[in-house]
Amino acid sequence: MLKNMAFFVFQHRQQGRPVRYRVLRYPECITSGALPMTCTSALRHIVLCDFLEGITPAKHAELVYEFSQLKHRIPGVQQFEWGPNVSPEGLDDGFTDCFTLTFNDAVARDVYLTHAAHLAFVEQLKPWLGRVLVFDYYPQEHPG
């Protein structure tokens, strides 16, 4: 059974002590010791963008629209969401826009990442980006 699973191990500190987690790729779930954490199988792909100051509202709207169309051009994209930063906390580090794509699993995400439509969009986006941050995760309601 274990030969079909890819393991990724990372650590963080809890109350000053290192805590090890095992992340199983298939099926996707996280465990800490003997205590399983609840999770879903959907994978979230978050893209935070810091657009260059010279971008026009029309170009920005065009890029958002083109990003949204990837859902219709690439199999496996279950959901697309977008929104500008509206946080009053001032902790956005200059990121102005958030894009979230939902996939059934890492395989669908990997198809998306290498798909010609995605690669073409990235080339269209690059000249207008100051920075980008990508973060993928499996949503969990709560530990235990």
**What domains, with CATH codes, occur in the chain?**
2-37 (no CATH), 43-137 (3.30.70.100)
In degrees and rounded to multiples of 5, residue 55 shows phi and psi of -70, 135
Mean pLDDT value across residues 15-40: 43
* Band of pLDDT at residue 102, cut at 50, 70 and 90: very high
What is residue 16's predicted lDDT score, i.e. its pLDDT?
Answer: 45
DSSP-derived 3-state class of residue 25: coil
Q: Check whether the bond before 27 is cis (ω within 30° of 0).
A: yes
Res 87 pLDDT > 70? yes
Q: Which residues of 73-109 are buried (b: 16+ CB within 10 A; e: fewer)?
A: ebebbeebeeeebeeeeeeeeebebbbebbbebbebb
- Give residues with Cβ within 8 angstroms of 76, minimum separation 6: 103, 104, 107, 108, 109, 111, 112
Query: What rounded mean pLDDT belongs to the chain?
Result: 79
Q: In this model, does residue 28 exceed pLDDT 70? A: no
